[in-house]
Structure 1
């Protein structure tokens, strides 16, 4: 990988990033309201993370796999689900379409995350007892910051997902030659944040890296041997999780504010360019007591080139 001289001139911080360790071949991620549990074992690896703030214009989506965008938002309260649902996906569609120059962008699910402790919301049922307000959906909810090195898509399952999304959005369309699945990530708490997002330069990741990690949305997280019981994993959504490589080159953008967004690739069908970006939350100690809780919203989309 060729490294531009300007990249070695920037501020850096040190953090422990969690990579997959050797262990079970059954890798699942169980998700419930406010909780995420992986069956894989992860170990902390001391890592240098470069701060791209001062050279933000240097980054190119088809080279690095990510880019920091100016992205003013009209959303007044990201915790107002009705407001976000009514307005935000259209905002994301516009910014992503402009960034890629795509013919069609289909926004998908969105999610809030926080570095603070999550207290499950409860409501009283007819009998006067406390209970969950409704069954959990992995959409529009509040989850912890994702703390392992991963990409939210597993390469072998993405063409079928893109074909289904395109057929639904444009049933009479001419078809597409290329598609890009991305995350549009925005933090909306004041900078600096204690637990920002780090992204890995796509050029530093080999095509053969990544282990499938199957997503199971459940009402209750299983325990012990039940986490490894036979399940129909092939029909579930899956992410890719990563083992440590000294070649990985990590970046973040310090002091992000609510009118910026980090756009980064989950999967690009054109593998001649930077086609995916492993990422993870990390604890940034470099700002000390000045740092604030991180709350963020992420929205996935598929960009199509017809």
Structure 2
């Protein structure tokens, strides 16, 4: 039985026919002609979200855009050395072991999130991976095709042409820390239920870089899923991008969801996400953070 929860979706604005949607994550000069940091607005929608734990073996990256795997241990991850020295290698090994068509796993980023943390601030320092970020309650895909291309060209300037001739997937591995999720669970949307017109490419502007992601317009045909009371040994794997032609689900939307009924004594959510690029061929010397 589906539970009711809320997610924010992109509100369409005719201005997007003249200028691209954008968000700026840095301070603007006080004498700038345009002092807007974004031209995006949102509609909050109530969705039905289905617990898929009992049918988890029926959901796959290629058919739905997401799946789930168990990963014992790593309940507490509080320091950078442990994350990069122990947790990241285990994530790479799990992806090599559990997914098909995997030659190389390149980890390019990881992030800690906390729903209630005195060290969590509204101003994001993207260069500090230890700064907890708040859950994101917006339906989105983290990386557009241009961002994947830029990441490969910047990270592998000598091998980019070779890499771009093979299958490339951008896959996120997400799991809670410390205890099961009691608020702000992560939900994923079956990529086969998302219409191309639902996606709106958006520019994300930071100091020295512009990347692209997708925000999403609401459609009642979109089907959302989550792992109810997701435990620290349960990971969600979901795709942002897949270069393989003909794959049923080249991506899955995702968002933290605002539950309509949360216990007053609910513990805050802490989680970690690991962002990867997966290449179908083997590249020696490829590591990542």
What TM-score results when the alignment is normalised by the length of structure 1? Answer: 0.76
Q: Which residue of 1 aligns with 2:272?
A: 297
Q: Which residue of 1 aligns with 2:85?
A: 86
The answer to whether the Cα contact below 8 Å between 2:6 and 2:257 also exists between their aligned partners in 1 is yes
1:278 aligns with 2:253: yes
Q: Which residue of 1 aligns with 2:70?
A: 70
The answer to whether the Cα contact below 8 Å between 2:163 and 2:279 also exists between their aligned partners in 1 is no
The answer to whether the Cα contact below 8 Å between 1:65 and 1:201 also exists between their aligned partners in 2 is yes
Select which of 189, 202, 218 maps to 2:191. 202
1:152 aligns with 2:158: no
Give matches, 1:136-151, under 5 Å. Answer: 137=127, 139-151=129-141
C-alpha distance in 2, partners of 1:268/1:172? 17
> Where is the helix percentage greater, Structure 1 or Structure 2?
1
1:13 aligns with 2:7: no
The answer to whether the Cα contact below 8 Å between 1:118 and 1:144 also exists between their aligned partners in 2 is no
Q: Which residue of 1 aligns with 2:112?
A: 112
The answer to whether the Cα contact below 8 Å between 2:198 and 2:218 also exists between their aligned partners in 1 is no
Gaps of 5+ in 2: 27-36, 282-289
With over 3 angstroms needed to count, the CA separation of the structure-2 counterparts of 1:165 and 1:100, relative to structure 1, is: farther
Let me know the Cα RMSD of the aligned residues: 2.9
With over 3 angstroms needed to count, the CA separation of the structure-2 counterparts of 1:217 and 1:87, relative to structure 1, is: farther
**Alpha-carbon distance, 1:255 to partner:** 1.5
**Alpha-carbon distance, 1:173 to partner:** 7.2
Deviations 1:257-277 (A, max 9, x none): 111210100101114111011
1:22 aligns with 2:12: yes
Deviations 1:48-107 (A, max 9, x none): 11111221112111101101101123x463221222122222111111222323011111
The answer to whether the Cα contact below 8 Å between 1:106 and 1:165 also exists between their aligned partners in 2 is no
**Alpha-carbon distance, 1:206 to partner:** 2.4
Q: Which residue of 1 aligns with 2:94?
A: 95
**Alpha-carbon distance, 1:140 to partner:** 3.9
Select which of 228, 231, 237 maps to 1:257. 231
* Count of aligned pairs: 264
What TM-score results when the alignment is normalised by the length of structure 2? Answer: 0.81
C-alpha distance in 2, partners of 1:95/1:112? 20
C-alpha distance in 2, partners of 1:174/1:202? 25
1:246 aligns with 2:234: no
C-alpha distance in 1, partners of 2:130/2:235? 18
1:184 aligns with 2:173: yes
Gaps of 5+ in 1: 1-10, 122-131, 219-231
